């Protein structure tokens, strides 16, 4: 049996591998990364229930989108075993776009069971910097 730290490292690697699969356009390991009953909510509201729906989405999206970067800033495990992943996403469809995001990821065993994403604009500004 793996120790908790080994299990955490393995789960973090699964997250990294999944993110990188979008850049490589290699989704051959989806069955080993996700549970059959996965729930995935995109940052723009689309949801996929079950691995078959997730695969259908990925198959469709990867034909129209090229991911240039999906850089992970940080992966933190909470005291309940969930992972909080902060990241930067850059892709091209008809035009190039980018944003920052957070994924809340839950595992069952060593497979991803749930992903909920949130996004925010990448560009930041300080509107009160010169007003104080």
Residue 74 maps to which CATH number? Answer: 3.10.450.50
pTM over cut 0.85: yes
**Residue 127 belongs to a domain:** no
- 3-state SS record for the chain: CCCHHHHHHHHHHHHHHHHHHHHHCCCCCHHHHEEEEEEEECCCCCEEECHHHHHHHHHHHHHHCEEEEEEEEEEEECCCCCEEEEEEEEEECCCEEEEEEEEEEEEECCEEEEEEEEEECCCCCCCCCCCC
Q: What is the pLDDT of residue 3?
A: 53
- Residue 21 located in a structural domain: yes
Asked if residue 26 is part of any domain, the answer here is yes
The verdict on residue 115 lying in a domain is yes
Which range marks the domain in which residue 24 is found?
4-120
In a domain, 130, yes or no: no
Q: Tell whether 61 is covered by a domain.
A: yes
Q: Is residue 125 part of a domain?
A: no
**Is there a domain that residue 131 lies in?**
no
Average pLDDT over residues 36-48: 96
pLDDT of 118 reads: 97
Dump pLDDT digits (tens) for 65-115.
Answer: 999 999 999 999 999 999 999 999 999 999 999 999 999 999 999 999 999
Confidence of residue 1 (pLDDT cuts 50, 70, 90): very low
**How many domains would you assign to the chain?**
1
């Amino acid at each position: 049996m793996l120790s908790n730290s080994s299990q955490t490292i393995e789960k973090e690697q699964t997250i990294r591998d999944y993110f990188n699969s979008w850049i490589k356009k290699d989704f051959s390991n989806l069955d080993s990364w996700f549970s059959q009953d996965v729930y995935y909510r995109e940052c723009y509201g689309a949801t996929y229930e079950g691995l078959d729906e997730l695969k259908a989405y990925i198959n469709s999206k990867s034909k129209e989108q090229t991911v240039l970067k999906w850089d992970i800033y940080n992966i933190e495990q909470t005291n309940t075993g969930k992972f909080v992943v902060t990241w930067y996403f850059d892709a091209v469809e008809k035009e190039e776009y980018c944003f920052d995001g957070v994924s809340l990821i839950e595992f069952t065993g060593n497979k991803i069971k749930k992903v909920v994403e949130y996004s925010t604009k990448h560009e930041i500004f300080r509107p009160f910097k010169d007003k104080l």
